[in-house]
Amino acid sequence: MSTVAICPTCGSHSRIKEVEGKVRYQAVQDEETFKKISQLKKAMEKFKAKAEQLEEELEEIKNRAV
């Protein structure tokens, strides 16, 4: 992930890049933010589905052991 900080000139949230010893700030656009949030939501849904599947498998294993 990118390093984000407040830009000292305009005060917006910006990505920081260091190129040839100079720090460059690039403003984070709302569109980019919504895209990242959407990606994170999709990833969380996948992990949630996997966790639920593993819980079901664990419950089946517990029931077999009894």
> What pLDDT does 48 receive?
96
Residues in the chain: 66
Beta-strand relationship, 4-6 and 13-19: antiparallel
Run of H or E including 4:
strand 4-6
Q: What is the pLDDT of residue 49?
A: 96
Q: Can you spell out the DSSP letters for 5-31?
A: EE-TTT--EEEEEEETTEEEEEEPPHH
Q: What's the confidence (pLDDT) of residue 4? A: 78
pTM to 2 decimal places? 0.50
Q: What is the pLDDT along the chain (66 residues), one digit of tens a residue?
A: 567 788 888 887 888 888 888 888 888 777 777 688 789 989 999 999 999 999 999 999 999 987
In the β-sheet with 13-19, what is the strand arrangement from edge to edge? 4-6, 13-19, 22-27
